[in-house]
């Protein structure tokens, strides 16, 4: 072989072609990859208001008992009595003789009698925490009588004592009640030697002089007895 002969160069185009193909494929792969989507902001938490409690059903009205109805009727009658009834002159005379204030009664009980302000002839009688609205009533015996027409309670005052009665039941609620004036009157009668067996202590005015003269008449009859006996002999 001659020295000046050079072997032919190997062609480089297959390598270049392969490189070009690789670049094209990588570009196509990149183009086919979808772009990442931006993350959505987190949704705000919604705060719901607390549920309102269901309204309670309205309470049904409780029907009034027979006692409550009776009390309502009694209060209505009392109001009607206070509003309608007029005090007569005779009742005012009785009211002027009513002893007021506390009265000491049997078994360590007490009754208080107080006039009602602004209502002449009306009184409030209190016993064991109960208050009775009373009006004076005229009597034929001369006793002072106060009456609660609604409850049927009566306060009876005589010279020697007073008593509280349930007229409807015919029972004495408390007896032997004495105001200071009654105690003084009883003490004076005892000191004078007056008899204690005088019933309820009411002495008619017409009979008073006769009762006072009874001892002298008895003495005269006693002194005349021997004379009559001697004469009979």
Task: Please give the pLDDT value at position 208.
Answer: 38
Identify the pLDDT of residue 86.
79
Check residue 48 and give its pLDDT.
Answer: 72
Does the predicted TM-score (pTM) go above 0.75? no
Task: Please state whether 223 falls in left (phi above 0), alpha (psi between -120 and 50) or beta.
Answer: alpha
pLDDT at residue 75 in the model: 73
- State the 10-residue block means of pLDDT for the chain, 233 residues long: 54 62 61 61 65 71 78 68 70 96 97 96 97 96 95 96 96 96 93 60 40 40 40 39
Query: Measuring CA to CA, how many Å separate 60 from each of 13, 54, 109?
Result: 106, 18, 44
DSSP 8-state assignment for residue 61: P
CATH of domain 87-183: 2.40.128
Show me where the domains of the chain are located.
87-183
d(CA 122, CA 114): 9
The residues pairing with 13 across neighbouring beta strands, listed in sequence order, are none
- CA dist 165 and 35 (Å) reads 110
CB 145 within 8 A of CB 77: no
């Amino acid at each position: 072989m001659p020295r000046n002969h050079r072997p032919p160069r190997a062609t480089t185009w297959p390598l270049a072609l392969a490189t070009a193909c690789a670049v094209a494929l990588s570009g196509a792969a990149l183009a086919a990859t979808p772009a990442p989507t931006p993350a959505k902001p987190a949704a705000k938490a919604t705060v719901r208001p607390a549920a309102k409690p269901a309204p309670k059903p309205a309470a049904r009205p409780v029907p009034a008992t027979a006692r409550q109805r009776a009390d309502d009727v009694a209060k209505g009658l009392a109001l009607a009595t206070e509003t309608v009834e007029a005090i007569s002159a005779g009742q005012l005379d009785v009211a002027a003789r009513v002893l007021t204030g506390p009265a000491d009664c049997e078994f360590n009980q007490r009754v208080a009698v107080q006039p009602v302000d602004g209502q002449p002839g009306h009184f409030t009688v209190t016993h064991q925490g109960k208050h009775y609205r009373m009006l004076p009533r005229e009597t034929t015996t001369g006793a002072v009588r106060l009456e609660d027409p609604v409850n049927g309670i009566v306060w009876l005052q005589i010279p020697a004592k007073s008593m509280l009665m349930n007229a409807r039941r015919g029972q004495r609620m408390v007896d032997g009640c004495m105001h200071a004036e009654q105690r003084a009157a009883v003490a004076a009668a005892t000191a004078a030697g007056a008899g204690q067996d005088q019933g309820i202590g009411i002495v008619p005015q017409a009979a008073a002089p006769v009762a006072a003269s009874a001892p002298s008449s008895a003495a005269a009859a006693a002194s005349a007895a021997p004379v009559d006996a001697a004469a009979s002999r």
